[in-house]
Structures are given as structure tokens and as C-alpha cells.
Amino acid sequence: QGNNVLARRATAGMCFYCLRIGYEVVTVKTPAFAESVTEGDVRWEKAVGDTVSEDEVVCEIETDKTSVQVPSPAAGVIEELLVPDGGKVEGGTPLFKLRKGAGAPKAAEAPKAEAPAAAAPPPPSAAPSPPPPPASDVGPIPTTMPPVPPVPAHVKMNRMRLRIAQRLKEAQNTCAMLTTFNEVDMSNITEMRKTYKDAFLKKHNIKLGFMSAFVKAAAYALADQPAVNAVIDDTTKEIVYRDYVDISVAVATPKGLVVPVIRNVEGMNFAGIEKAINLLGEKARKNELAVEDMDGGTFTISNGGVFGSMFGTPIINPPQSAILGMHGIFDRPVAVGGKVEIRPMMYVALTYDHRLIDGREAVTFLRKIKAVVEDPRVLLLDM
Amino acid sequence: MMSNVRRMVSLFKGVCRTRTCPVHTWTSGAGLVLQSRSTDVFQNLALEDWIEANVDLRQRGVLLLWRNRPAVVIGRHQNPWTECDLQAATKAGIHVARRRSGGGTVFHDLGNLNLTFFTSKKNYDRRRNLKMITDALRRVRPELDVQATDRLDIVLNGHLKISGTASRLRRDSSYHHCTLLHSADRSALSAVLRPSTSGIHSNATPSVPSPVANLVDHAPTLQWEELLEALVDQYNEEFGCTSALTSIDPSDEASFPGIGLFVSELSSWEWTFGKTPKFSVRTVLDLSEHRSAQLHLEVKNGLVASCQVLVPPDWIPQSLADQLSQVLVGERFCRHGAAAAAVSTLLRLDGTGGRLEELSKAVLRAMG
């Protein structure tokens, strides 16, 4: 027992001594400038509290069209910046203070509990300190940190999320939102795509996808059921009918939902629609979508299928009255002409504002979309 | 490092242009002259990085000759929004790049020759390099009145700038690069070299505008190839070597291993825009019916750090304008992309077609 106590005290002493050596603070000065240049502007790359390794660039000094890098003379932590960013310096001007020694607590020789005072100031890049090991005298001094119990992450909801949530809830309360479903046999459209995809790519320089079929089908159905393309103005208690079809296409990005709009779809063919979708997709990818690209929209199409969803109820994107949800295409056994066949099937959902659109209109609308996608000749024959 | 140099040697041996250059003259000579086959500004800037990182400059210097398709190249510590009209540049297909060296903004095109002198820190001598250039010019066109100034520009007839200089000094190496206007398109230049938006207050390195001229305006018969050959000859004479012009392809990852990483970094948003010293934007937004709002933005690392939009109290509630401000914080200082998406979401929630929409669009127009 006695030996163990002695061992711990000796280690504490050694530990404290080692840590004391690491406390040396050096002041780094501006290097002399070449070719009789007298002064320059400092541009900081690192901030107070940053851990740097030997030779890592701490700042750059711009002198007369020359950018000079100032590296750290040793590994350590930036203690103080002595010149503001953009400030002027001459050769020899003190630039910054560096606290030498390894920044983050690496494999410590002694348990942290033995020298709690020596831990200050902790470098910001260090992991949260583990709880001190029990002060028992069992066994040798541990050389690794005890495991840290996971702390549940409490992230405050940002204002935008709160606002969206609030507005969606309001929409649910004002609209009488209902969803109607149907399923689409994708055989014909798949076949059409297979037959024409190479020639399409050659002529139009873009791929032929499925979205154009649904977008065109929606435009066709909206022309047939104007109530679905209209919206209730709650302030004036009027129904606003629109004679143009601007379709919002919901795109999920890491930062949230983005809804670019394809304008005047009623006058476009499949090729035109694919081009528009492609252009918007490119812009979204290159972060070039302008706010005008996302204005307005009379109807939204959301494709959950890209994430593999089979079935789901989309939520209306205010201020519109309906939204079409597309889902994944899965082979299913279906009854065709009295026999069981395997067909590629997609479930589609239409969520609508029942104050404006009655059940019959909603079902007819969805059936029209189904009819067009299952057989695009319907468009040519205006059926 | 040696294996990379050996690869460059074999490349060199394969494509020697004017003279045969056995390896021993190359290794014992004091210089190597390279010409990039690429006209992509990011690849060429990456090539500078690669040479600096991989070639041992203690034994010999390297001269790299290059030119780019139209591009705006800003200095290391400059603000791209003040130096360049980014919307106009994008529309014209002109790239915007930030180089590693200091100094001001330059417009690059195929009529503008770039020369990079790579040397050890010991042999860093910008005036000697510029003297080499003026000597070369006088050699091919003795009637040209060209000289280097105190500011390390080269001027024609005493006042017309034909070359600007910038450099980079690191622990063990240095380079000095400069432009040389042979036949650049000056009209394209003026269309983009102006601020993207008004009201920017910044302490970034400013550009000093000067009247410029092309060499062909004063020596119409001077061909591009003739100019290059004169420079190579003069370089060899000045630095005591016998190097011929070697053509290289910086897109060849096999010859320049790791160059792709430099290209990625140099063409990233984080480098080009994120490295801008912090600045503020203070401007008045004109609204309909002769009303106006005040905008104050702080931008750090290219991102909106804070935003304040002050509106007349009877126009829309200040709280609504504040919601707009909050939505922009943390987004890139750019009217497209994430900021536009955030604004569009806000408008979908809180009312389109109204004054908030007008205000939002005015604020976005003031952003880069």
C-alpha cells in the first residue's frame, strides 16, 4: 500500500515537471524583407488558440506584390496575435506569441486526475476531458484514457426550421389536406425510354429520364382540372385560377429542400422538359440557382423514389393547392388480362386541399396522370 | 523528389525543340526553360505549385512560360468582389482565380504571356529577371523604349505598362512571376475589371490601375514565337545555361504526380472566395414608391457573418426584415445558390408578390 502511494506521488511530481517544461512561450518576429522592402501587411491564417505544427504557416505578409509565408518555429498553440489582420509590420516587428509543446493531450503518462491544475489552458481542439479515474490504488498507472461515455447531442433548432415547421402546421390547419393514391404501370414508358434513349442523347445531348413524362402528364391533367392549378387566397377569400402551368420540382440538398420551377410547361414537349430539368439541375449543382428560378410555381412534383421510398404522403408546398408524390419503381405481380404478370410498378400519391378540390376531381386528376404515363399516346389523341 | 525530376528529364529528352540537349548539359547548366501546353488558368497555377514543391532549385533555376484563355487573376490577399464583376465574368465564360503570390489583379488571355522565375531564396533577384526581359525585347526590336520601373513594372515609352510583377517567398524557395502584354484584348478587360456590387469597405490589397499597352501596338511585326525565342535566348545568356524550350503538359498526372490536388484546391470556392480578408458592405437599397432600405453586411471567409436590413417602419414590419437577415447569416456572399434557396423558402412561407419579395430581391442583388 505504502509503495503505491509513494509511486503515485513521485509520478505526480515528474508529471508536473514535464508539463512545466512545455510552457515556454516564444515571441515570433517579422522576418527581414528581401530587396530593401521596408514594410508589409499581415494576413492571419491561424487564430488564437489554434494548434500548429512546426513549419505550419501562421500568417502571410504582403510586401510590395510579394507574399511571404511565416511558419511556426515549433509545434504549439497560438497564444496571442500582436498585430491586427491587415496591420502594417516592418522587419523585426513582433508578430505573435506561441506556447510551445504538444497542444492536444496525447498519451499522457499519468492519469489526468493527478495534475488537474496543469491542464490549463486546455487547447480548444482537445476532446472533452474524460472523467477522472477512480482514485483507487489498484494496479499500474493506466497509460490510456478511460472510455468517454457518449453525451447525447442537443442541437438547437435553427430559426428557419422552426419557421418551416410552424408554417407547415398552419397549412395543415387551414387546408383540409387529404391524400389519394394510385399505381402506375411503368412498362410502356420504360420500353419507350429503352428504344429512344441513345438517339435522344445524340440529338439533344442530355439523358431521357422519367420526370419529363410525369411533368407533362401533370401539365395535361392540370389543364383538364383547373381547380388543382388554382389556390385559395385566405386574405381576400377568393379562388385564384391560373392559366399557365409552372411546375415546381422538389430537390433535396444537404442544406434543405430547394424547389426550382419549370415555367409554362403546357407548351413544352418531353425534350423541352428534360432540357429545362437538366438546366435547373446543373445550376443547382453549381450553386447558381437564382431566386427567380425558384419563384412562384402552381403545382409541385416530389420524387421520393430517388431515395427508394415505396409509399408516402407528400405535404403541400404553400401557397399551392396540391402536390404529386412519385415513389420507387418495383417489380410486382399484377393482374393483366386475367393472368399474373410481373410489371415495374410505381405508387403515386396526390395530396390536395379539400376546401378547393373535391374527392372526385382529385381522383380524376391522378387517373389522368396515370393514363398519360402508362400510354403517352393519350397526349397525342387528347383523350 | 529525384524520381520526379528524372521523369521530367525523360520528358525533356523526348520533346526537345530547337537543340539536342543531352542530360549532362541539363544537370550542369544553371537553368531550365519550360513552356506549358495548357491554357487553363487553374492548371497553370497548379503547375507553379508543383514545380515549387517538387523541383530542387538549389542546383538550378527554372523559367516557366505560360498563357491562359481569358481569366481574371486576383492577388493572394485581394477581394474578388471589388476587383471583378463576377456576374459579367460568369456570363462571358471568364474564370476567376486567386493566385498564391501577392499584388494586384491581372486580366489574362492568349495575348498575355506569363513568365515565372523559380529560384532558391539565395538567388531571388526580381530586377535581374526584369532586366533579362527588357534586354530580350531590345535585342529583337532595338527601337523599343522599354524599361523596368521602381515598382517592378515594365513600361513602354516611359508610361505605358506592358508588364506587372508579383512574387511568393516560402521557407526554402521563391518565385517571381510577371506578365508581358503581347496582344491582349483590352476591351474584354474593361468589361469585367470593376466591382460586382457597390458599398464594399475592405482593407484587402487594392489594385493600382495604370494605362497599359500591347507590344504589337508598337512593334506590329513581333510574332509570338519570335518573342518566346528571344526570351529563351536571353535567359540562357543572362543565367549562363544552354536550355532549349521544353513543352510540358500539366494535365498529365503521370508526369506531374499530385498536380490534380493543386488544381482542385485552386479552383475551389474556399480558396478563390473563402480566403478573402473580412469586409463589410454598407449600401442603400432602392425600393418602389421612392422608398429605400439600408443594408449592412459583414462578410468573413466569404460567408455572411452578420446582416442588418433597416426598413422604413410603415413599409413592412422590421421583424419581417429581420427574418430575412437571419436567413442569410452563414450563407456564401453570393446572390445565387444557398442564399437564394434560403430566401425563396422564406418567401414561400411568408408571402410572395409583396414587399418582402421586393426587399429580398434587392438584398440579393447587393450580394456579389
- Residues near B295 by beta carbon (within 8 Å), at least 6 away in sequence: B199, B281, B282, B283, B284, B285, B307, B308, B309, B363, B366
Is residue A259 scored above 80 in pLDDT?
yes
Smallest CA-to-CA distance from B298 within B207, B367, B222 is with B367
pLDDT at residue B352 in the model: 56
A293 contacts in chain B (CB < 8 Å):
340
Catalytic entry in A41, A224, A354, A375:
A354
What's the average model confidence in pLDDT over B167-171? Answer: 87
pLDDT tens by residue, B62-84: 999 999 999 999 999 999 999 99
B340 and A294 in contact by Cβ < 8 A? yes
pLDDT at residue B262 in the model: 96
Determine the distance in angstroms separating the CA of A323 from the nearest CA of chain B, rounded to an integer: 15
Using pLDDT thresholds of 50, 70 and 90, give the confidence band for residue A176: confident
> What are the sequence ranges of the domains in chain A?
24-100, 160-381
Say if residues B90 and B23 touch (Cβ distance below 8 Å): no
In the block, cell 422538389 appears at A250
In the block, cell 433535396 appears at A252
Is residue B28 scored above 90 in pLDDT?
no
pLDDT tens by residue, A67-110: 888 999 999 999 999 999 889 998 889 999 999 886 554 444 44
- Residue B154 vs residue B343, higher pLDDT: B154
Determine the distance in angstroms separating the CA of B75 from the nearest CA of chain A, rounded to an integer: 8
Say if residues B331 and B364 touch (Cβ distance below 8 Å): no
Residues 78 through 117 of chain A touching chain B, CB cutoff 8 Å: 85-86
Is residue B145 scored above 70 in pLDDT?
yes
A62 and B332 in contact by Cβ < 8 A? no
- Residues near B24 by beta carbon (within 8 Å), at least 6 away in sequence: none
B76 and A295 in contact by Cβ < 8 A? no
Cβ atoms within 10 A of the Cβ of A142, count? 11
B78 contacts in chain A (CB < 8 Å):
none
Is residue A115 scored above 60 in pLDDT?
no
Catalytic entry in A64, A198, A331, A358:
A358
Using pLDDT thresholds of 50, 70 and 90, give the confidence band for residue A24: confident
Strands A177-185 and A339-353: antiparallel
Dihedral pair phi/psi, residue B233, rounded to 5°: -60, -45
Question: Which DSSP string do the residues of B53-101 spell out, in sequence order?
Answer: HHS-TTT-EEEEEE--SSEEEE-TT--HHHH--HHHHHHTT-EEEE-SS
- Residues near B221 by beta carbon (within 8 Å), at least 6 away in sequence: none
Smallest CA-to-CA distance from A250 within A309, A196, A182 is with A309
Say if residues A297 and A246 touch (Cβ distance below 8 Å): yes
- Is residue B240 classed as helix, strand or coil in its secondary structure? coil
Selection from A232-236, A331-335, B123-127 with the highest mean pLDDT: A331-335
> Which cell goes with B156?
513602354
pLDDT at residue A317 in the model: 78
Is residue A375 scored above 90 in pLDDT?
yes
- Residue A84 vs residue A305, higher pLDDT: A84
Q: Which of A370-379, B92-101, B351-360 has the lowest mean pLDDT?
A: B351-360
Is residue A3 scored above 60 in pLDDT?
no
Q: What distance in Å separates the CA atoms of residue B353 and residue A131, rounded to the nearest whole number?
A: 57
**Average pLDDT of chain B to the nearest whole number:** 88
A41 and B77 in contact by Cβ < 8 A? yes
Q: What distance in Å separates the CA atoms of residue B28 and residue B10, rounded to the nearest whole number?
A: 16
pLDDT at residue B284 in the model: 95
Q: What distance in Å separates the CA atoms of residue B368 and residue B89, rounded to the nearest whole number?
A: 12
Q: Which of B7-11, B167-171, B243-247 has the lowest mean pLDDT?
A: B7-11
pLDDT tens by residue, A147-160: 666 666 666 666 66
Side chain identity, residue A20: R
- Residues near A10 by beta carbon (within 8 Å), at least 6 away in sequence: none
Is residue A137 scored above 60 in pLDDT?
no
A67 and chain B in contact, CB less than 8 A: yes
B343 contacts in chain A (CB < 8 Å):
291
Determine the distance in angstroms separating the CA of A297 from the nearest CA of chain B, rounded to an integer: 10
| Annotation marks residue A327 as catalytic | no
Question: In chain A, which residue's Cα lies nearest the Cα of B167?
Answer: A66
Element (H, E) at B47: helix B41-54
What's the average model confidence in pLDDT over A35-58? Answer: 86
Nearest Cβ partner for B277 among A55, A86, A288: A86
Determine the distance in angstroms separating the CA of B350 from the nearest CA of chain A, rounded to an integer: 8
Angle at B288 between CA B279 and CA B199, to 5 degrees: 15
DSSP letter assigned to residue B204: S
pLDDT tens by residue, B234-272: 999 988 888 889 999 999 999 999 999 999 999 999 999
Smallest CA-to-CA distance from B125 within B61, B207, B64 is with B61
Element (H, E) at B275: none
Nearest Cβ partner for A60 among B76, B124, B336: B76
- Residue B172 vs residue B323, higher pLDDT: B323
Using pLDDT thresholds of 50, 70 and 90, give the confidence band for residue A114: very low
Cβ atoms within 10 A of the Cβ of A139, count? 7
Angstrom distances, CA of residue A207 to CA of A72, A201, A204, A326, A353: 52, 5, 8, 19, 34
- Is residue A212 classed as helix, strand or coil in its secondary structure? helix
DSSP letter assigned to residue B212: B
Q: What distance in Å separates the CA atoms of residue A320 and residue B132, rounded to the nearest whole number?
A: 70
DSSP letter assigned to residue A155: -
Determine the distance in angstroms separating the CA of B336 from the nearest CA of chain A, rounded to an integer: 5
Is residue B187 scored above 80 in pLDDT?
yes
- Residue B176 vs residue A33, higher pLDDT: B176
Dihedral pair phi/psi, residue A328, rounded to 5°: -70, 155
Element (H, E) at A180: strand A177-185
Smallest CA-to-CA distance from A18 within A130, A149, A106 is with A106
Exposure string of A204-241, with b = 16+ CB inside 10 Å and e = fewer, is eebebebbbbbbbbbbbbbeebebbbbbbeeeeeeeee
What's the average model confidence in pLDDT over A256-266? Answer: 86
pLDDT at residue A67 in the model: 85
Top CATH class, A160-381: alpha beta
B102 contacts in chain A (CB < 8 Å):
62-67
Q: What distance in Å separates the CA atoms of residue B304 and residue B94, rounded to the nearest whole number?
A: 25
Say if residues B301 and B274 touch (Cβ distance below 8 Å): yes
Element (H, E) at B180: strand B173-181
Strands of the sheet containing B61-66, edge to edge, are: A88-90, A39-44, A57-63, A66-71, B165-169, B173-181, B112-120, B61-66, B31-36, B245-248
- Is residue A66 classed as helix, strand or coil in its secondary structure? strand
Say if residues A362 and A175 touch (Cβ distance below 8 Å): no
Q: Which of A15-29, A358-372, B239-253 has the lowest mean pLDDT?
A: A15-29
B101 and A258 in contact by Cβ < 8 A? no
| Annotation marks residue A358 as catalytic | yes
Say if residues A69 and A44 touch (Cβ distance below 8 Å): no
Element (H, E) at B284: strand B279-286
pLDDT at residue B139 in the model: 93
- Is residue B115 classed as helix, strand or coil in its secondary structure? strand
Does the pTM surpass 0.80? The reply is: no
Q: Which of A13-17, A229-233, B114-118 has the lowest mean pLDDT?
A: A13-17
- Ordered by where they begin, the domains of chain B are 2-272 (3.30.930.10), 279-365 (3.30.390.50)
pLDDT tens by residue, B103-128: 899 999 999 999 999 998 888 899 99
- Residue A365 vs residue A138, higher pLDDT: A365
Report the sign of the C-alpha dihedral through residues B347, B348, B354, B358, in that order: positive
- Is residue A29 classed as helix, strand or coil in its secondary structure? strand
Q: What distance in Å separates the CA atoms of residue B172 and residue B280, rounded to the nearest whole number?
A: 36
**Average pLDDT of chain A to the nearest whole number:** 80
In this chain, the answer to whether the domains covering A24-100 and A160-381 adopt an identical fold is no
DSSP letter assigned to residue A235: T
A69 and chain B in contact, CB less than 8 A: yes
pLDDT at residue B31 in the model: 82
A164 and B349 in contact by Cβ < 8 A? yes
Q: What distance in Å separates the CA atoms of residue A234 and residue A178, rounded to the nearest whole number?
A: 19
Q: What distance in Å separates the CA atoms of residue B62 and residue B55, rounded to the nearest whole number?
A: 9
The alpha carbon torsion through A51, A57, A58, A63 (nearest 10 deg) reads 180
User: pLDDT over 90 for what percent of chain A?
Assistant: 45
CATH number of A24-100: 2.40.50.100
Angstrom distances, CA of residue B280 to CA of B69, B203, B277, B301: 32, 10, 10, 12
User: pLDDT over 70 for what percent of chain B?
Assistant: 91
